[in-house]
Amino acid sequence: MFELNDEVWGIDPIVNKFHHCRGKVVAIHTAGDGHSVYLVEFDDLGTALMTDKQITKNLADLGD
């Protein structure tokens, strides 16, 4: 779904650490169940492992 160097936005309304934050996919890993896990470098916040449900390329997905 996402590729290396894609610009993405964090969707994290519960913990809210990366919610609405811009980042870049810097690595892609495969979890034991076969799903992709993305290492995202967020501007000024560091890196985090994110699933495809926690990041988006579409700003409309962020809501309010």
3-state secondary structure (DSSP) of residue 59 = helix
Assess contact for 53 and 11: CB atoms under 8 A: yes
pTM: 0.88
pLDDT interval class at 30 (50, 70, 90): very high
Nearest to 42 by CA among 57, 62, 21: 21
CA distance 17 to 30: 23
Report how far apart, in Å, the C-alpha atoms of 58 and of each of 10, 27, 32 are: 10, 20, 28
| pLDDT score for 40 | 97
Q: Let me know how long the chain is.
A: 64
Domains and CATH numbers, the chain: 7-57 (2.30.30)
